[in-house]
Amino acid sequence: MTRSTKSSRAYLYVVFTFLYLPIFVLIFFSFNKSKSRNLFTGFTLDWYRQLFQNEMILRALVVTLAVAAIASVCATILGTAAAIGIQGMKRWSRFTVMNFTYIPVINPEVVTGVSMLLLFTSLRYFLNFNMGFGTLLIAHITFNVPYVILSVNPKFRQLDNSLYEAALDLGCNPTQAFFKVILPQIMPGITTGFLMALTYSIDDFVISYFTSGTSQTLSIAVYSMTRRKVSPEINALSTLIFAAVLTILLIMNFKDIRSENSKSGLKKKGAERI
Amino acid sequence: MFKAKAVSVPYLIWMAIFIIAPLVLVGIFALTDAEGSFTIENLSGIGRFTPVFARSIWLAAIATAICLLIAFPMAFAISRMSERRQNLFLMLVMLPMWMNFLLRTYAWMSLLENNGLINRFFGLFGIGPFQMINTQGAVVLGMVYNYLPFMILPLYSVMTKIDNSVIEAAQDLGASNGKVFSKVIIPLAVPGITTGITMVFVPSISTFIISRMLGGGGNLLIGDLIEMQFLGNSYNPHLGSAMALVLMVIVLFTMSITSSIDSEELEDMLI
């Protein structure tokens, strides 16, 4: 057993090295004095200074975060409601709706992006609007919703229906029973869906590329920079994003641990009282 | 049984406008010419691009297989940890996804270059430099690197539900480690495997950034072709829609192979 845990640990280290090495190289060269991406010539913080003066990147960052936040919240609400409705449907309508829901997941991003571009350009014959933040947001919500539905749905399959019935028997009305019994049980799925939506949104390039029109997300800004020459400002930005995400995740993890501890503490207290 | 069908109505409307209508448009564009009259020229013209399509399928299939091989033991190892460590390691898997996808690919550009860090490292031992960037291998590497978490996460989410006692039962009944893996763990992980394959194969086959950044100009994929018809130099949304249609058919065909297992699973659950 110990040998297998040791080898599995070694294996994990190798894979994580593969996942993180490029990122650490990226971070390392954000402190590089010259513009070279291979040769470290000395330490500097100049790229960070320049980053905070680069309006194009800062504006793109704001757009990216705003789109991701709004789109993933909307998608979580829309998707959770959809999942709740879908599991009450008859077999065939559920089958049909789920097959359409799968489309943005299964469909290549290029196709989704291109098809939405076609929709927006066609709609512009009838409506007066420009492609920009609005179309970007619509596109992001559209490709995010399915991930929420797909992560909430399995929770419904695992749901113990007798608990819901028990709640009704004990005097809850259906709404109360939903919020007190069902929602807590599907909550892990909702959280997963939300996090997936957020991650996909921030990371998305392809669909944004086709639907963003005049507004620029971070990935589009980076793309236009890689076609010329990437300045180490981009490395500096990656470092900051990485640090920010790491901090957020660490705080969330500590909170989890603390709430777990306090929960078990409560249980102990309750046990003593009994 | 808890039921509330009405709450899904907003989504159904959204779906009709932003999922179904755009695809109908792709179909219409693929079957019409610039004047709007019916034609199959767009579809028949795709034959010229067969090598590109073949290359895309082949490279994406290799990348998917490699991802599965790397992710399977990884997801299993994580699923057997204590809950707190599981969360930590999942976080570590997801963290790179928060970095911009283009930045991650860009990082590999600087690693793989002819005078990049990897070749410098080899140079210390007097070997190389090897031509790594602008090869098909680099494209596959880029796919594996970018999409590996998409394989690990679905695998993990099914494996974490596999009870240790099931594995122990198999061992008690005399199964070797290999048997436990092939008869217990893999069958139980099938839904995760099919999801993982979908989530890696589809973005791999349709990428146009990885091939452009790591493959140079010589390793064009389907995605590159489609992009060029809509935003690139050879503007022709009708031909582009036809290509998109073919790409969708390829993907649906792949899915029909993997999801045949899925629907059985679903029926089992319904019965």
- The pLDDT of residue A177: 87
Query: Do A171 and A201 form a contact (C-beta atoms < 8 A)?
Result: no
Most B CBs within 10 A among A77, A94, A114, hence the mutation to make, goes to A114
% of chain A exceeding 90 in pLDDT = 33
Query: Do A98 and B270 form a contact (C-beta atoms < 8 A)?
Result: no
| Cα-only R_g, chain A | 24
Domains (range + CATH), chain B? 50-270 (1.10.3720.10)
Query: What residues of chain A lie within 8 A of the CB of B77, using their CB?
Result: 8-9, 11-12
Look at residue A8 and tell me if it is in a domain.
Answer: no
Q: Is the pLDDT of residue B267 over 60?
A: no
Q: How confident is the model at residue A1 (pLDDT cuts 50, 70, 90)?
A: very low
Is the Cα torsion angle A103, A182, B154, B264 positive or negative in sign? negative
Residue position matching structure tokens 């039921």: B3
Query: What residues of chain B lie within 8 A of the CB of A245, using their CB?
Result: 95, 98
Binary contact (B244, A249; C-beta < 8 A): no
Alpha-carbon gap: A19 to the closest alpha carbon of chain B (Å): 7
Strand stretches in chain A, DSSP E: none
Look at residue A153 and tell me if it is in a domain.
Answer: yes
Residue partners of A195: CB distance under 8 A and separation at least 6: B94
Most A CBs within 10 A among B1, B3, B5, B8, hence the mutation to make, goes to B8
Q: Is the pLDDT of residue B82 over 60?
A: yes
% of chain B exceeding 70 in pLDDT = 94
DSSP, collapsed to helix, strand or coil, labels residue B50 as: helix
pLDDT tens figures, B128-178: 778 888 899 999 999 999 999 989 999 999 999 888 898 889 989 988 888
Q: Which two tokens stand for residue A186?
A: 């599907």
- The pLDDT of residue A259: 63
At residue A213, what is the residue type?
G
Give phi and psi for A32, each to the nearest 5: -80, 135
Q: Which CATH number is A164's domain given? A: 1.10.3720.10
**Cα separations (Å) of B199 from A76, A110, A124, B120, B153?**
20, 14, 33, 34, 10
Q: How many domains does chain A have?
A: 1
Classify residue B45 by its DSSP letter: G
Instruction: Please count the residue pairs, one from chain A and one from chain B, whose beta carbons lie less than 8 angstroms apart.
Output: 234
Q: Is the pLDDT of residue A31 over 60?
A: yes
pTM for this entry: 0.81
Span A90-112, average pLDDT: 88
Alpha-carbon gap: B252 to the closest alpha carbon of chain A (Å): 8
Range of the domain at A91: 55-230
Classify residue B123 by its DSSP letter: H
- The pLDDT of residue A271: 40
- The pLDDT of residue A257: 62
Binary contact (B19, A103; C-beta < 8 A): yes
Residue position matching structure tokens 């932003």: B18
DSSP state string for A18-71: HHHHHHHHHHHGGGBSSS-SS----B--HHHHHHTT-HHHHHHHHHHHHHHHHH
Look at residue A243 and tell me if it is in a domain.
Answer: no
CA A49 to chain CA centroid, Å, is: 29
pLDDT tens figures, A121-167: 999 888 888 899 999 999 999 999 999 998 898 888 888 878 888 88
Binary contact (B11, A25; C-beta < 8 A): no
- The pLDDT of residue B87: 84
Mean pLDDT, chain B, whole residue set? 87
Query: Do A174 and A212 form a contact (C-beta atoms < 8 A)?
Result: no
% of chain A exceeding 70 in pLDDT = 90
Binary contact (B77, A29; C-beta < 8 A): no
* Alpha-carbon span B229 to B192, nearest angstrom: 35
Q: Which two tokens stand for residue A25?
A: 């190289």
Of the candidates B201, B234, B203, the residue with the CA atom closest to the CA atom of residue B64: B201
Look at residue A32 and tell me if it is in a domain.
Answer: no
Most A CBs within 10 A among B20, B98, B112, hence the mutation to make, goes to B98
Query: What residues of chain A lie within 8 A of the CB of B22, using their CB?
Result: 112, 115-116, 118-119
Binary contact (B244, A114; C-beta < 8 A): yes
Span B108-130, average pLDDT: 83
Q: Which of A12, A37, A164 sits opposite B77 (nearest CB)?
A: A12
Greater confidence (A228 vs A14) lies with A14
- The pLDDT of residue A267: 43
Look at residue A205 and tell me if it is in a domain.
Answer: yes
Greater confidence (A161 vs A80) lies with A80
pLDDT tens figures, B44-55: 888 899 999 999
